[in-house]
Amino acid sequence: MEELPFKYLGVPLSTKKLKVIQWCSFINKIMFRINSWIARKLSYAGRTQLVQTVLFGVQSYWAQLFIIPAKIIKLIEGLCRSYLWSGVGYVTKKALIAWERV
């Protein structure tokens, strides 16, 4: 895994566009947060609130600093969807409503 030499406020500093492999730390942060919530056995409403405020908040913070590649955005949305619908890090149920309505 390729790491950037400097970080400021948890964000890697770079003058160039980040490569997909350099987004691993961002994806790991999202996965770490989801894994810490799994043990809490939250309701659907609680999971929805966490996804909307925390995960999408982190994503919007990074999006203000960098152009996030579409591949990374799809991966993050997939992680959010699987946590939202099943409460775990992988898909076990089908969605009850459209993702756009969430």
Looking at the 3D structure of the chain, how many domains does it have?
A: 1
pTM for the full predicted model: 0.69
- Residue 84 located in a structural domain: yes
In this predicted structure, the answer to whether residue 51 has a pLDDT above a threshold of 80 is yes
Residues 81, 85, 86, 87: is their CA dihedral positive or negative? positive
Say what the pLDDT of residue 90 is: 54
User: What average pLDDT does this structure show over 18-29?
Assistant: 82
- Residue 29 located in a structural domain: yes
Q: What is the mean pLDDT of the chain?
A: 78
- Cα separations (Å) of 21 from 12, 31, 59, 87? 13, 16, 17, 27
- Residue 2 located in a structural domain: no
**SS3 letters for 72-92?**
HHHHHHHHHHHHHHHCCCCCC
- Residue 35 located in a structural domain: yes
In this predicted structure, the answer to whether residue 92 has a pLDDT above a threshold of 70 is no
- Residue 57 located in a structural domain: yes
Q: 76 burial class (0-12, 13-18, 19+ CB within 10 angstroms)? A: buried
- Residue 1 located in a structural domain: no
Q: What is the DSSP letter of 70?
A: H
Q: List, for residues 77-88, the tens digit of each pLDDT value.
A: 888 888 888 766
- Residue 16 located in a structural domain: yes
Domain holding 51, by residue range, is 7-101
- Residue 76 located in a structural domain: yes
Which pLDDT band, with edges at 50, 70 and 90, does 38 fall under?
confident
Cα(12)–Cα(26) distance, integer angstroms: 10
Which pLDDT band, with edges at 50, 70 and 90, does 91 fall under?
low
